[in-house]
Structure 1
Amino acid sequence: MSFLLEKAAGRFRSIYPRLPWQIRLSYGGQSRSFGNGPERVNVEFRKAAPLLKLGLGNVSGFLDDYVTGDVEFHGDIYAIVGLRRHVPDLSYWGVGPLHRLKYSWSRFFPSSVRRKLVAVSSHYDLPNEFILSYLDKKTKAYSCAMWKDSMNQAFPSDETLEDAQYRKFHDAAVELDLQPDDKFLDIGCGYGYQVHHAETHFGVKKALGITLSQNQVDDGYSKNLALKHYMEVPGDGSWDKIYTCGMISHLNKAEIGQYYRHVYKLLKPGGRVWFHAITPMANAQGLDNYSTVSGTFSQKYVFPDHYQFPEHVHLKIIEETGFLVRKVYFRYGHYAKTLRHWYKRYLENLPQTRHMITPTIERAWHLYLTFGSEIDGHVSVLKQTLCEKPG
C-alpha cells in the first residue's frame, strides 16, 4: 500500500509547500511525511479506505473516518486543524455539490418548534456532567467569553475562563443599561447566568430566561427560566431590555427575518436589545456554512440546524425591521481563546467523563473544540450589536 501513502503525501506536498511543521502519514508499518520543520503529529490509518479518500482529496470523508476510529492522530491535533490556514486554495477544504446539498436544503425552509427542540436538545442535553466538565465554574456559559488579551492564546494566563465569561455578562448588562424596574428577557439563556446577574447585581425584579434545553432549566442559576421557544413569548411590546447570545446561530435564512421582527414586537418603544453571535467574515473564502468541511462536520456531529451568515446580512434585516443600530463590535480572537480553554478542560476531565458519552461523541468533540479555535479571526468573528426600538 506504499503507493497510497505516496499519493496522499505527494498531494499534500503540492498543496502545502511551505507548511512550517511536518505531518507523518502511517499505514501497515510504512510512512511518508510532508511539510517542513519538526514533526507535530503522526496520522495512523487503520484501514486503506481512509487513506484512499485523503489521496483523492475527500477531507470530509477523512474526518468521518477519524470519528469512527479508522484513523488516529498521535501528537498535536492542532497540527491537523491548523492546515486550513496554510492552504493557498481554500477550495480544497470545501465539499462537493452532493455533500453540500445534503446539508443545505433545510436552510431555506422554516423549522417547526419541535424540530428546533430536537436539534437543540441533541447537543445541550448530553449528560450535564459532561458539558459542565469543560465550561467555566462561575457562569456555566456555553458561548464565547470576553478576554482582556484575546490574541494571546498561551497558557497559563493571569485571567481565567471564569473572569472572561463574567466580563461578557456584566458588559452586556451595562450596555443595556439595566435598571431595577426593567422587564428583562434573555432569549437562548443557557444556564441563566445573565438572568441571575440582572437580578442580583442590577436589582431587576422582572426577568425571564428561555431555552430549549431541559438540562439548562433544571440546573440553571435562576428560578425564572422556562423551556420555551421564542415565538411562544407574546409579542406585546412589554419588554424593556432583551439579551440574546448565540441564538442567531440556530436560525436558518428563512427564519432570521422572523426572529428579528418578533424581537422588535417584544420590545417597548425605546427598549434595547443586545445581539451576540459568531458570524463569518464577509471576505472569507468558504463563506457558505455548507461549502466547508468544518461547516458540514458541525452539522453532522455537533450542532444540527446550525447556521452562520455574515454581519451585513444581519444588519440589513435589523435595519429593515425598524431597529436603530447604536453600536456594533467586532471581536477577534475571543472565540479561539475560549475554545482553547474548553479543550484544555475537556482533556483534563475526559478520564472522568468518558463513560458518559459514546466514542463517536468523544472523537467528534476533539475536532469540534479544536477546529473552531483555528478559524476564529480568519473565517469567523464574534460580533455584538446594540439596537434600540424607536419611540
Structure 2
Amino acid sequence: MSIYLEKASATLAEMFPTLPWTVRLSYQGRAASFGSGPERAEIACRTEDPLRDLARARLSSFLDRYVEGECELNGDIYSIVGLRRHVRKDAEWKVGLFNRVRYMGTMLFPSSVRRKLIAVSSHYDLPNEFIEAYLDKRTKAYSCAMWKDANAIGNLDDEALEDAQHHKFHMAASELEVQESDKFLDIGCGYGYQVNLVEKEFGCRNAMGITLSQNQVDNGFSKSMRRTHYLDIPPDGSYDKIYTCGMVSHLDKSELYRYYRHIYGLLKRGGRFWMHGIIPQANPAGLNNYNTLSGTFSQRYVFPDHYQFPVHQHIKAMETIGFKIRKVYFRYGHYAKTLRHWYKQYVETLPQTRHMITPTIERAWHLYLTFGSILDGPEAVIKQILAEKP
C-alpha cells in the first residue's frame, strides 16, 4: 500500500472542503476518498507518482502525469473538473513560481508572427477530420454558439448545435449592419462560415477572411479566405466592417493594444467592429492564463501563447485608442452548453478518430472540452462588444 494514498486524500479534502460529492483515489487495489455525498468519480493511479504529487498539492505535475497515462479519470468527468468551483481559496489555484516564470516572456513581449503561426498551427492544423468530428457540420464553427435557452446547459436536445452556431453568425452580421457595398474582414475566420454568410445572405461583394490555419483555408466555406496574420493586412482605413470571433484568446498579454490599434487603422471612419471572445471575470486573486492550474495546462497542451483579458481591459484599450463603444453583451451559459455538445460528439467519435492523434492529445482534450463548462453559467465567460470608429 502506498503511504501517499491517505496523504493525498487528506490534502485534497483540505483543498476542496465544500465538495458535495465524493471522489475516490485508488492504487494497487487500495482506495481512499475525499468529499462528501455520493461517489461520482475515481482517480485510478497506475504508479505511485500521481499520488505523491496530490499529497504535496502539486496539481500541475499531477496533470502532466495524467496526460502521460500514469493515471485514469473514471466516472463523471464533470465531477473532476468541477473541483475548481470548490477550491478553498482562489489563490490555491495558482501554480508554483517555476511554472509561472516559464511564461514570463510571452507575458511581457508580443510573439513574433512566426511564433504565432507555429502556436496556432499546433492546434488548428491537427488532422482536419479529428477537429471536424466534434464540430457541427453546417458551420464547422470552432467558437461559442448562441443558444435560445443557455440556462439549460445540460439539455442537449432542445436545440441543434448547428442552428445555435448559425444564429451567432447571423446576429453579429445584423449588429454590424453589413451592406452589399461593404468591404468586410473576418479576423480569425475559422472555416469561413461568416464570410460565406455575408456573401450569400447579405450580398456583400467584397468580403475576406483570414486565418493562420492552412487546414481551414483548404477546407473552408469560401474562396475569399487567406492564410495570413492580421498585421500583414495594411491599416489603410479601407474596411467598413470587421468581425472577429474567438481570435482575441490567441493574443499575448502584451499584444492587446497593438491588436486594437491595428483594427482601428483598418477601419474607415464610421466603420463598425464586432468582437466576440472568451473573457473571464476580473478576480481579486489575480488569476490568469499564466499563473493558474487550468491556464498553464492549456498553454502547454491545448492553446500555446493564449491569454484571456477581463472585459474592462478590452474596453479601456478600445476607448484609449479612439473607438466608441456602442454595445457590450454578457452571455451567461452559452459557452458551457457549446462545450457540452462538443464533448459529447468528441466522446462518440473518438473510436473513429483516435488513430489520428496522440494519447497525450486524447487525454488533454477530455479536460479542455469540459473544464470551461463548469465555469460558464455562474460567470459570463463570453462577452461581445460592438464598437465604431468615429
TM-score (norm 1): 0.97
Letter in 2 for 1:93: W
- For 1:179 and 1:44, how far apart are their aligned partners in 2? 57
Other-structure match for 1:330: 330
Letter in 1 for 2:168: K
- For 2:156 and 2:378, how far apart are their aligned partners in 1? 24
Letter in 1 for 2:283: N
Deviation at 1:253, TM superposition (A): 2.5
Other-structure match for 1:8: 8
- For 2:287 and 2:144, how far apart are their aligned partners in 1? 20
Letter in 2 for 1:370: T
- For 1:308 and 1:181, how far apart are their aligned partners in 2? 34
- For 1:257 and 1:39, how far apart are their aligned partners in 2? 47
- For 1:137 and 1:204, how far apart are their aligned partners in 2? 24
- For 1:368 and 1:284, how far apart are their aligned partners in 2? 25
- For 1:26 and 1:158, how far apart are their aligned partners in 2? 38
Instruction: Write the mapping of 1:256-267 to structure 2, written as runs, cut at 5 A.
Output: 256-267=256-267
Letter in 1 for 2:279: T
**CA contact 2:330–2:380 (8 Å) conserved in 1:** no
Letter in 1 for 2:306: H
- For 1:76 and 1:63, how far apart are their aligned partners in 2? 17
Q: 1:126 to 1:298 in 2, by over 3 A?
A: same
Other-structure match for 2:85: 85
Q: Does 1:290 align with 2:285?
A: no
Deviation at 1:377, TM superposition (A): 4.2
Q: 1:78 to 1:119 in 2, by over 3 A?
A: same
Q: Deviations over 1:35-87 (max 9, x none)?
A: 12211111111111110000100111111111000011121111110001012
Aligned length: 390
Higher mean C-alpha displacement, 338-347 vs 72-81: 72-81
Other-structure match for 1:158: 158
Other-structure match for 1:147: 147
**CA contact 1:280–1:287 (8 Å) conserved in 2:** no
Other-structure match for 1:320: 320
Q: 1:167 to 1:318 in 2, by over 3 A?
A: same
Letter in 2 for 1:327: K
TM-score (norm 2): 0.97
Letter in 2 for 1:82: G
**CA contact 1:150–1:333 (8 Å) conserved in 2:** yes
Letter in 1 for 2:227: L
Q: 1:208 to 1:238 in 2, by over 3 A?
A: same
Q: Which runs of 4+ in 1 moved over 4 A?
A: 377-380
Deviation at 1:110, TM superposition (A): 1.6
- For 1:115 and 1:218, how far apart are their aligned partners in 2? 22
Letter in 2 for 1:210: I
Other-structure match for 2:168: 168
Provide the aligned C-alpha RMSD in A.
Answer: 1.3
Deviation at 1:286, TM superposition (A): 5.2
Other-structure match for 1:184: 184
Q: Does 1:305 align with 2:305?
A: yes
Instruction: Write the mapping of 1:1-391 to structure 2, written as runs, cut at 5 A.
Output: 1-283=1-283, 285=285, 287-378=287-378, 381-390=381-390
Deviation at 1:380, TM superposition (A): 6.0
- For 1:228 and 1:359, how far apart are their aligned partners in 2? 31
**CA contact 1:243–1:275 (8 Å) conserved in 2:** yes
SS at structure 2 position matched to 1:265: helix
Deviation at 1:290, TM superposition (A): 1.3
Letter in 2 for 1:249: S
Q: 1:82 to 1:232 in 2, by over 3 A?
A: same
Identity %: 64
- For 1:249 and 1:104, how far apart are their aligned partners in 2? 17
Q: Which runs of 5+ in 1 are unaligned?
A: none
- For 2:380 and 2:364, how far apart are their aligned partners in 1? 20
- For 1:32 and 1:113, how far apart are their aligned partners in 2? 49
**CA contact 1:287–1:379 (8 Å) conserved in 2:** no
Deviation at 1:157, TM superposition (A): 2.3
SS at structure 1 position matched to 2:382: strand
Q: Deviations over 1:188-242 (max 9, x none)?
A: 1000000000000000000000000000000000000001111111111111100
- For 2:315 and 2:381, how far apart are their aligned partners in 1? 15
- For 2:17 and 2:309, how far apart are their aligned partners in 1? 32
**CA contact 2:8–2:51 (8 Å) conserved in 1:** yes
Deviation at 1:378, TM superposition (A): 4.9
Deviation at 1:309, TM superposition (A): 1.2
Letter in 1 for 2:224: N
Letter in 2 for 1:326: R
